[in-house]
Structures are given as C-alpha cells and as structure tokens.
C-alpha cells in the first residue's frame, strides 16, 4: 500500500521519526528536513494540532492534497495543548476560530515556528543515527564523524590502502582505541576473513647485534657481565614479535592467503592499520588434514606452498607454513608481476568469498 495513503488513513501507526524518515526517502530529490534554506523547499509541512486532549500517539493527521504540499500534524512539541507553554485559553481560542469561524490564521502562524523547530528536532535525532544517514550516502555525515576518530574523516584520507574504508568504520571501536591488544586484532581478522584466528605472543627470534654494541674484552665499559654482556653477534629476543595463526582452513581459503593473491596484501594492511610498525609479526596458515593435496606429476601444486610428499591420507592438520608477510610483499613489489585482481567490489562488507579466477596458476 502507498505510504502516503497509510499515513492518511492510520497516522497513529507511525512514530514521528519513522514517518519523517520514510517521507525523506520518498522525496529523495528534496533537501533533508532541518537543512533546507527555505521552508518551501521541504518535502512536508509540519505543524501541531490545536487540541486539549491527552494524545495517545505522536501523530495527529496527515493531509496529502493534490494541489499543495503534504502536511503532517503532530500532538507534541508545540505551544498548544495541555503540555504546551501557552495558557489553555489560547488553545481554546485557536480551536474555536478554526472550528466555528473557519479561520486558521492563528494556527498557521504558530505552525511557522512549529515547522522549523520540529524539523530541527528531527535533524538532531537523524544526525546521530548511522542507518538514517546512510539513506543518502552522498550526504552521510555520520561516516565523517566516525572517520574523524580513525584519521579518515576527510575525503582525501579515504582509500589509502587495500583495507576497505567501511571495514575501518565498522571496527572504529578497536581502531580508535589507543590500547591495542590481541583480542582486538583477532576480532577484526576473524570477522573480515570469516576464519578462525589465534594470536601467539612472544615469538622468539634471533636479532643481529650492531657492531658498535659488540662486547670486547679490552673494553671493560662495553657491557656488564650477567646483565648486558652477550657472547656472539646475535641475541635471542621474544618481546618484539607475535604470530597470527589462521585455521584450520580449507585449501581454497589457504590459497587466497598465499603470495601473488590480493588476500595477503589485504591482511597486511589490516594488521598495519591496527598495530602499526611497532611490532614484528609473521603468519602461520593451518590447512585442514582432509584438504592436504599430494604432489603428483601433471597436477598443479606450488613447491614450498601447496606441495606435500605423503603416503595415504593426512592424519593431522598441516601447520608447516610460517611466512614473513612484510618481507614477502616487499620482495614481490621489486619483481615484475601481473596486476592482482581486486575483489573488493565482488564482496559484501566483511565477507570472505572464493574467486578462483584471481588465483595464480
């Protein structure tokens, strides 16, 4: 049934905000209520019914005339009635003039103020509702508000990397928080890729010691025995690195996160947006045992990535692959390779789908 007819027949079935939102969507070529420069530019005229009754609904009536602008009368937020600021005898006077003298001048004069105040009242509510703002994406101010918390509030800051902007806004609570933790990173990655994600902290690694910091016997001030002295040119450290474990996953998702595919670059950008460059990390992909392929002549496998020498069926999930993602991507960027097919437009927000056309064979 037509929206205008529903409002005319049963206005009490609608709430004030609900009715105005649907009218804004219906008249999408008109300015938003509360933002127009002239009242004649608005899609509907708002006013208050002059009545002494205690209303049971926020809307009183809706008139959709063929030769005029639709008019919506409300039972609240006005100067008339038992809840209005004017003395009750003025409400009686306005109703008497309208009913017995057919003179709506007083009511229409007050509706000049009602229309503007009701429009601003609705706009104050709509500006804080992200779903209402997205009814007109080109005028979405809530995205700007949320983006300002993440550094993407201006149009020039959008589309900086392969992490979609709507994903950043969805995880604004995590990305806008100064404290970064493993639970936040797990939440972002697991929702975006729709995979099981686990973070392994304090992963050890050998770090080269700069020559200027070597310990020499002839230089007694270079180190303190038992405190800062190190034998050798490397030091085993665990406080600077963590590992992202994804899986167990099937073979298709596994291939989507291998080099030469867009999934790996997107993963790196998500991690960079959340943790920055303060910590080092690597990726551990765990392949389901039932999806472990066997290397055979004439069949496609990637040596070092998807090729396993096995006899019979695998008895355990394979967690052999541990990859330094940033080093791998840096190595790829120095090589001449074909462009990676973007699948952003093919995905729903935060969906992880398989597109076999983008796999590198």
pLDDT in tens, the chain (361 residues): 588 888 888 888 899 999 999 999 999 899 999 999 888 889 899 999 998 888 888 999 998 865 568 999 999 889 998 888 999 999 999 999 999 999 999 999 999 999 999 999 999 999 989 889 888 888 888 888 889 988 898 888 888 999 999 999 999 999 988 899 999 999 999 999 999 999 999 999 999 988 888 887 777 666 777 777 888 899 899 999 999 999 899 999 999 999 888 899 999 999 999 999 889 999 999 999 998 887 777 667 777 788 887 777 778 899 989 999 999 998 887 764 555 444 344 334 444 443 434 333 3
CA angle (57, 58, 59) in 5-degree steps: 95
pLDDT of 350 reads 42
pLDDT of 239 reads 92
pTM: 0.71
Residue from 112, 121, 67 nearest 104 by CA: 112
pLDDT of 348 reads 43
pLDDT of 347 reads 38
Report the C-alpha gap between 188 and 182 in whole angstroms: 10
DSSP E strand stretches across 169-262 = 197-200, 205-208, 234-237, 241-249
**Cα–Cα distances in angstroms (integers) from residue 341 to residues 239, 302, 349, in the given order:** 37, 20, 18
pLDDT of 331 reads 84
End-to-end Cα spacing for the chain = 54
Measured in degrees and rounded to the nearest 5, phi and psi for residue 321 equal -80, 115
């Amino acid at each position: 049934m037509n929206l205008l007819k529903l409002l005319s027949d049963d206005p009490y079935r609608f709430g004030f905000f609900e009715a105005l939102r649907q009218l804004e969507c219906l008249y999408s070529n008109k300015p938003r209520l509360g933002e127009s420069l002239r009242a004649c530019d608005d899609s509907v005229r708002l006013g208050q019914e002059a009545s002494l009754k205690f209303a049971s609904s926020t809307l009183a009536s809706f008139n959709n005339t063929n030769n005029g602008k639709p008019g919506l009368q409300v039972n609240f937020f006005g100067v008339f009635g038992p809840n209005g600021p004017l003395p009750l005898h003025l409400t009686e006077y306005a109703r008497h003039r309208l009913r017995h003298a057919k003179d709506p001048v007083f009511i229409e004069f007050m509706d000049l103020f009602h229309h503007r105040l009701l429009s601003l009242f609705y706009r104050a509510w709509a500006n804080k509702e992200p779903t209402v703002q997205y009814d007109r994406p080109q005028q979405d101010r809530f995205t700007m508000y949320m983006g300002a918390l993440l550094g993407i509030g201006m149009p020039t800051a959008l589309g900086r990397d392969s992490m979609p902007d709507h994903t950043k806004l969805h995880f604004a609570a995590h990305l806008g928080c100064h404290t970064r933790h493993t639970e936040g990173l797990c939440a972002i990655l697991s929702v975006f890729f729709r995979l099981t994600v686990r973070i392994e902290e304090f992963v050890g690694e050998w770090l080269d010691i700069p020559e200027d910091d070597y310990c020499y016997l002839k230089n007694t001030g270079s180190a303190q025995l038992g405190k800062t002295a190190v034998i050798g040119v490397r030091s085993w450290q665990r406080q600077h690195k963590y590992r992202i474990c994804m899986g167990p996953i099937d073979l298709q998702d596994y291939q989507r996160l291998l080099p030469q595919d867009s999934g790996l670059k997107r993963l790196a950008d998500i991690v960079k947006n959340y943790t920055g460059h303060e910590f080092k990390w690597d990726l551990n992909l765990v392949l389901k045992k039932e999806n472990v392929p066997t290397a055979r002549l004439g069949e496609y496998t990637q040596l070092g990535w998807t090729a396993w020498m096995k006899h019979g069926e695998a008895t355990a999930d394979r967690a052999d692959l541990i990859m330094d993602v940033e080093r791998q991507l840096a190595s790829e960027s120095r090589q001449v390779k074909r462009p990676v097919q973007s699948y952003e437009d093919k995905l729903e927000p935060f969906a992880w789908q398989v597109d076999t056309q983008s796999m590198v064979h």
